[in-house]
Amino acid sequence: MAETEAYRADPSLKGKLRRRVVRLMQRRPARANLPRAMVSFTFDDAPASAADLGARILAEHGARGTFYVSAALASGQGPMGRYASACELVALSQAGHELGCHTYSHVDCGQAEAAMVLAETERNADALAAWGAPAPRTFAYPYGDVALAAKRALGGRFALLRALHPGLVESGADLNQAPSIGVEGLGAEARALRWLDLAAARKAWLILNTHDVADRPSQWGCTPKALAGLVEAALAKGVEIVTVAEGTERLS
């Protein structure tokens, strides 16, 4: 199934309140005493442009990224262009990039029943295994949303579950709903650079998220120039670039 239309998590006041309340519950606090700051570059839904150009920009700087895959989208078309194929995604994994887990058909964990979320997650992991990819170690909530029952069901099944609310991963951060900063829209690079400065000063872990990488990206993506600028800024500041799976290992 290809996702061809844009979708947003519940924008109602009820939806916004639920997201805030869930962040306070079913927490798994991180314990962090990092010797240096870290940053992770993550690409949700794995558009082909991210799998190609995004991965190449990272590799040219000796870095690797994390691609959160919904297997049902592979090779399909969506609002960010074509999604990477199974072969392209396996090649990423073989090159040292991390393939993380979304739900199989990109269902919203804030709207779906917990049983469906679990079934979708397991089906996605099975699909990655069938492609020959390693078992996913980290997860990202599609649209950044999750209901309490789904968070409870998924909590502890992965080393980290990433959301979309802003913040840094440091002591006390919730590994069942970890914060991240979007590299998308106007001012994306400048905003991410401010968070990178903060992470460097606090020896914390910054997780960045985007989608496509193109000269004319979608509203959820970024330009190659912005991505390269952030990678180069991280290296100049002495911030270690890690995949999300590697970051969780550093925490432990």
Instruction: Give percent of the chain with pLDDT exceeding 70.
Output: 97
DSSP H or E run through 118: helix 114-131
Q: Please name which of 250, 240, 249 lies closest in space to residue 39, comparing C-alpha atoms.
A: 240
| Exposure string over 43-74, b if 16+ CB within 10 A, otherwise e | bbbbbbbbbebbbebbeeeebbbbbbbbbbbb
What was the pLDDT predicted at 92? Answer: 98
* pTM confidence score: 0.94
pLDDT in tens, 185-197: 989 999 999 999 9
Mean pLDDT, rounded, for 80-100: 97
At 117, phi and psi to the nearest 5? Answer: -60, -45
Please check the confidence at residue 211 and state whether its pLDDT lies above 80: yes
Q: Specify the pLDDT at position 131.
A: 97
Given this model, what pLDDT does residue 156 score?
84
Give residue limits of the domains in the chain. Answer: 13-251
Q: What is the model's pLDDT at position 243?
A: 98
Res. 5: pLDDT tops 60: no
CATH topology of domain 13-251: TIM Barrel (3.20.20)
Kindly indicate the confidence band of residue 4, based on its pLDDT and cuts at 50, 70 and 90.
very low
